[in-house]
């Protein structure tokens, strides 16, 4: 559908009086652009199902959905905010690729979170509030005859001057963790169903939730260790498996082949548990273009997996019941333990110190998935 522009066409019978009319174009101007009923050029398009405005040029691109899954307060919003910042630099410097907003208006919430974090001068300014089920990351749209809350898609273009035919877009979804808890997948709130059609699934594991992990990193000064929280991360993975297989009509024993990255976050607090040797580098940068070292990714993955098998084997069992293509990563979006502070209302909070931000390996999982989706522009030492 197209979106009307003329002021007299304000009001859509489904979206409401404050939204511009959506319509199926039957008239076009000499530039082959749709025109609305008042004869005004109407280049913006909308989904015919939910009527949401689509990013410019959306129908001209291949798209890959990247679904980020994790428990409530596991740090998904921090991770995604930092990831976008890091990818902009890494893809351009290492692969000569532009990574840019497909629609700055649609990505405003995510860009605000990123700028909020990296432009702050003190912890209270860098603090990101918890993703809320009905908050800024969700929108209400019609679906199957009813109005439902759906997560906002954040769309970014990946483009190459050398191989323009290989350009594509990535659609990120950052769900509230509650949407992956058992019993929350109601018809009125189907916000987590994108994982069934994702090109990459990213499960962010918060080791500070897990009692066994906490017991082994008592020496850490991370104030999050003082918080007592119920660990349901293996249950969230189990629930994700059930939903994926139900939507796709798979048998219980079947697995998807979608790349699934299990990212053990907050690695600054536990990385010493892997032993004295540092993780191996992800990229070979000796030539003109970087090469993704799949052999090193596998070696690092084996080390992280072995640790999880020792500390919380249920995470490994549940992840590998979902996908036949699982890889394990260590990452620290902040690169340092958060600090305590009091907000403007005097409430005690825990958040990052912007003066100490030092992201560590947040891009590894994304590059691993991209090397499988677009091997022409993300070459590796083990081509598909």
200-215 pLDDT, tens digit per residue, is 999 999 998 888 888 8
Residue 337 has pLDDT above 90, yes or no: no
SS3 content of the chain, % helix, strand, coil (to 5): 35, 25, 45
Region of poorest pLDDT, from 20-34, 323-337, 349-363: 349-363
Q: What's residue 48's pLDDT? A: 92
Instruction: Extract the tokens encoding 84.
Output: 């976008």
88-103 pLDDT, tens digit per residue, is 999 999 999 999 999 8
Q: Architecture of 62-373 per CATH?
A: 3-Layer(aba) Sandwich (3.40)
Q: What's residue 162's pLDDT? A: 85
| CA-based torsion, 72, 345, 85, 356: positive or negative | negative
Q: What's residue 21's pLDDT? A: 97
135-190 pLDDT, tens digit per residue, is 677 888 888 788 888 888 999 999 988 888 889 999 998 877 777 777 666 566 67
51-82 pLDDT, tens digit per residue, is 999 988 888 889 999 999 988 878 888 899 99
Mean pLDDT of 250-276: 94
22-59 pLDDT, tens digit per residue, is 999 999 999 999 999 999 999 999 999 889 999 888 88
| CA-based torsion, 329, 335, 340, 343: positive or negative | negative
287-320 pLDDT, tens digit per residue, is 678 999 999 999 999 999 999 999 999 999 999 9
φ, ψ of residue 163 in degrees (nearest 5): -130, 70
Confidence of residue 133 (pLDDT cuts 50, 70, 90): very low
Q: Locate the DSSP E strands across the chain.
A: 2-3, 10-12, 16-20, 22-23, 62-70, 97-101, 138-143, 146-151, 154-160, 168-174, 200-205, 260-264, 283-284, 291-292, 326-330, 339-342, 348-351
User: Cα(69)–Cα(313) distance, rounded to whole angstroms?
Assistant: 18
Domain limits of the chain? 1-54, 62-373
- Residue of 189, 198, 239 lying closest to 66 (CA atoms): 198
């Amino acid at each position: 559908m197209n979106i009307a522009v003329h002021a007299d066409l304000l009001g859509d019978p489904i979206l409401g009086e404050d939204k511009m009319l959506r319509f199926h174009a039957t008239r076009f101007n000499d530039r082959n652009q749709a025109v609305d009923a008042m004869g005004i050029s109407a280049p913006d398009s909308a989904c015919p199902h939910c009527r949401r405005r689509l990013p410019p040029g959306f129908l001209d691109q291949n798209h890959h959905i990247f679904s980020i899954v994790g428990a409530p307060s596991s740090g998904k919003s921090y991770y995604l905010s930092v990831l976008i910042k890091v990818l902009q630099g890494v893809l351009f410097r290492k692969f000569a690729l532009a990574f840019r907003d497909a629609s700055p208006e649609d990505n405003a919430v995510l860009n605000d979170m990123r700028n909020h974090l990296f432009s702050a001068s003190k912890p209270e300014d860098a603090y990101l509030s918890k993703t809320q089920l009905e908050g800024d990351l969700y929108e209400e749209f019609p679906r199957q005859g009813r109005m439902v809350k759906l997560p906002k898609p954040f769309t970014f273009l990946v483009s190459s001057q050398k191989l323009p035919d290989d350009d594509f877009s990535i659609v990120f979804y950052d769900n509230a963790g509650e949407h992956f808890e058992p019993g929350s997948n109601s018809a009125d709130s189907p916000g987590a169903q994108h994982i069934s059609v994702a090109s990459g699934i990213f499960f962010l594991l918060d080791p500070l939730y897990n009692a066994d992990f906490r017991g082994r990193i008592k020496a850490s000064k991370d104030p999050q260790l003082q918080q007592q929280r119920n660990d349901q991360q293996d249950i969230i993975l189990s629930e994700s498996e059930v939903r994926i297989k139900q939507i796709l009509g798979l048998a219980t024993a079947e697995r998807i082949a979608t790349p699934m990255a299990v990212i053990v976050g907050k690695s600054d607090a536990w990385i010493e548990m892997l032993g004295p040797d540092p993780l191996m580098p992800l990229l070979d940068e000796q030539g003109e273009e970087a090469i993704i070292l799949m052999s090193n990714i596998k070696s690092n993955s084996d080390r992280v997996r072995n640790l999880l098998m020792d500390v919380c084997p249920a995470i490994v069992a549940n992840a590998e019941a979902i996908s036949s293509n699982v890889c394990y990563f260590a990452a620290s979006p902040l690169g340092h333990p958060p600090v305590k502070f009091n907000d403007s209302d005097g409430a005690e909070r825990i958040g990052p110190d912007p003066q100490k931000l030092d992201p560590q390996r947040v891009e590894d999982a994304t590059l691993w998935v991209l090397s499988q989706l677009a091997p022409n522009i993300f070459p590796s030492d083990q081509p598909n």
